[in-house]
Amino acid sequence: MSKLIELAIGGNELTGTIPDTLGQLTKVQWLGLNDNKLQGSIHVNFCHLVNMYHLDLGNNHLSRQLPTCLENLTSLRELNLSYNSLTFTIPSTMWTNKEIQIMDLSNNLFNGSLAPEIGSMKGMRELYLSRNQFSGEIPSTIGKLQSLENLTLSDNRLHGPIPESLGDLISLQYLDLSKNNLYGEIPRSLEKLKELVYFNVSFNELSGEIPNGGPFKNLTADFFVGNSKLCGSSQYEVMPCKGNATSSSIKTRTLKYILPSIALVIILAIILVYLMRRRNRNTLLPAKSTSPITIKRISYYEVLNATNNFDEENLIGIGSIGKVYKGVFSDGMIAAIKVFNLDLEGANKSFDTECHILCNIRHLNLVKVITSCSNLDLKALVLEYMPNGNLNKWLSSSNYFLNIVQRVEIMIDVASALEYLHHGLPSPIVHCDLKPSNILLDEDMVAHVADFGIAKLFTEDQRISLTMTLGTIGYMAPVENNVRAEESCFRSIMGLALECTANLPEERLAVKDVLKRLKKIKTEFC
């Protein structure tokens, strides 16, 4: 096999360590061992594969440190080591390959700081370093990678300011810096990035004014949440910057009593709006991914063990297309496992639709897919476990109670998710089956929209018609002193619901306007 050029044996159940003898395949150019159960370290013999163009070891159980001699692989253009347990710092010599184009080291245990030598990889187009334990500051030399299109550094321990030099990444389209400890202001230099369509700095410690020029004109509030010191345009749902703010009084009285059906009314109103807008739409295109997420699949036996052979005691829900079980995996992770009934017509299509959509969208109020299982015997999605169940339980049972503040917050959560699906993606997504049983509540009573089995994707032309709404300012609650706050809040919500159910489409509110009105109601009365 010394003359072997390509070896692709990914997606099997291979176990054990990678044989040292692979280092003898000195002519190999393409090596794929991904999606197996290989363990141990990456042996130094890999450094002998000097002709290798593509190396994929992703989705295994590899551990320990990377060999420093990987710098010898000067022909390497594509490297995937994601979803392993590789540790220690990345050798600085790894960053000296000027021709490598794609490097995915995400979902490992790498630590330490990013070396300044990272700026040497002039040919880099895609660099994925998310979900590790990197610390220190983002090196300013990264601004030298002018061919870079995708950069993810999310879910690490990075701190310090965002380098001004990122504004030199003229080809950058996707930048994710979320869930770190970054502080300081967002550099104005990023306004120069004409190709940038995704920029996420949520859940950091940033401050100052959010830029509003260039690509920032098309960004939504979701990309800036979790930074309490940011200020700027109302488009980002942050506080106004000093000097631009107008004084406003905020009522803080907590409302405690209202009819249980209010939350259901507003949710049904939103459903009606978009069910009616679905009419006369016929051409559907696949949605563009807004995030290069890779889902690591699990085996049938892992699902079987997690649910204790699908024990009825673990059954937490039954739907039209299958069942949902509570699962506990070997590593202690608790999840909801949605098992599709393959005997039902449309089950396979529903699985494919839901898997495709959930793997390509990210929002705080959408249920998160953790992994999946797909084979001839079983199709299942492993989702975030929501300990407080679904909204229907809280609305229909006398054993559960939601106060008015919780109800309004749930409405805002659902409307935020819908606004993202309809206005925050290149191709809008319409859920098509939104109901209380598909709205799940986590341990903090934050709502998450679930079940995308029959969701619809819209083209750019359809997007225009979807958002052409000329809603009028409807009934607002009276502010006379003799009107109780509960009654005022009730009237505001019911007035909003009536506007959502107007006969003519042009008279109905768009979901982004519904979201703004709900937040205003919460501010005034809650």
Break the chain into its structural domains and give their ranges.
6-236, 262-281+395-525, 300-384
CATH 3.30.200.20 fits 300-384, yes or no: yes
Gap between the Cα atoms of 195 and 163, Å rounded: 18
CATH of domain 6-236: 3.80.10.10
pTM summary value: 0.49
CATH 1.10.510.10 fits 262-281+395-525, yes or no: yes
Residue 16, phi-psi category: left (phi > 0), alpha (psi -120 to 50), beta (remainder): left
Asked if pLDDT for residue 330 goes beyond 90, the answer is no
In the structure encoding, which two tokens stand for residue 457, read together?
């994707």
Per-residue pLDDT band for 269 (boundaries 50, 70, 90) equals: low
| pLDDT given for residue 106 in this prediction | 95
Cα(first)–Cα(last) distance of the chain, in Å? 72
Identical fold between 262-281+395-525 and 300-384? no
In 10 A of CB 138, how many CB atoms? Answer: 25
Strand partners, 127: 103, 151
CA dihedral sign of residues 135, 139, 143, 145: negative
433 is catalytic: yes
316-324: average pLDDT: 84
Gap between the Cα atoms of 351 and 455, Å rounded: 11
Whole-number average pLDDT of the chain = 79
| pLDDT given for residue 483 in this prediction | 41
Gap between the Cα atoms of 156 and 32, Å rounded: 27
371-389: average pLDDT: 86
For the chain, how many residues are written? 526
Asked if pLDDT for residue 247 goes beyond 70, the answer is no
Long-range contacts of 484-488 (CB under 8 A, 24+ apart): 485/251, 485/253, 485/255, 485/525, 486/255, 486/256, 486/257, 486/258, 486/404, 488/524, 488/525
| Residue tagged active-site, from 35, 168, 433, 451 | 433
Per-residue pLDDT band for 480 (boundaries 50, 70, 90) equals: very low
Three-class secondary structure of residue 328 per DSSP? strand
Alpha helix positions (H), 175-244: none
